Amino acid sequence: MPTETAANPSLPSLSTSLPGPKARAIIERDHAVLSTSYTRCYPLVMRRGRGAIVEDVDGNRFLDFAAGIAVVATGHAHPKVVRAVQEQAAEFLHMSGTDFYYESMVQLAERLVKLIPGDVPRRVYFGNSGAEANEAALKLARYHTGRDKFVAFFGAFHGRTMGALSLTGSKVTQRRGFHPPLPVHHIPYPNTYRRPAGSTEAAHALECVRVLEDQLFRTILPAEEVAAIVVEPIQGEGGYLVPPAEFHHQLRRIADKYGILLIHDEVQSGMGRTGRMFAAEHFGVVPDIVTLAKGIASGLPLSATIARADIMNWPPGAHASTFGGNPVALAAALATLDLLEEGLMQNAAEIGEHLLHRMRNWPQRFRHVGDVRGLGLMIGIELVTDQASKQRAPELRDRLEFRAFERGLLVLGAGPNTIRLCPPLVIDREQADFAVDTLEQCLREMEG
Ligand X SMILES: Cc1ncc(COP(=O)(O)O)c(C=O)c1O
Site residues, ligand X (CB under 6 A): 69, 129-131, 134, 157-159, 232, 236-237, 265, 267-268, 293
Instruction: Give the shortest CB-127-to-ligand X separation in angstroms.
Output: 9
Give the dihedral sign, CA 133/139/143/145.
positive
Q: Which is nearer to ligand X, 105 or 131 (CB)?
A: 131
Instruction: Give the shortest CB-411-to-ligand X separation in angstroms.
Output: 15
Q: Which is nearer to ligand X, 265 or 382 (CB)?
A: 265
What is the rounded distance in angstroms from the CA atom of residue 21 to the CA atom of residue 368? 34
Pick from 112, 190, 189, 129: which is nearest to 164 by CA? 129
Q: Which is nearer to ligand X, 51 or 130 (CB)?
A: 130
Q: Which is nearer to ligand X, 154 or 258 (CB)?
A: 154
Instruction: Give the shortest CB-199-to-ligand X separation in angstroms.
Output: 26
Q: Which is nearer to ligand X, 49 or 130 (CB)?
A: 130
Q: Nearest residue to ligand X, using CB?
A: 130
Instruction: Give the shortest CB-171-to-ligand X separation in angstroms.
Output: 12
Instruction: Give the shortest CB-266-to-ligand X separation in angstroms.
Output: 8
- List Cβ neighbours of 139 (8 Å cut-off, separation of 6 or more): 163, 318, 319
Instruction: Give the shortest CB-292-to-ligand X separation in angstroms.
Output: 9
Instruction: Give the shortest CB-419-to-ligand X separation in angstroms.
Output: 16
Instruction: Give the shortest CB-24-to-ligand X separation in angstroms.
Output: 28
Instruction: Give the shortest CB-263-to-ligand X separation in angstroms.
Output: 11
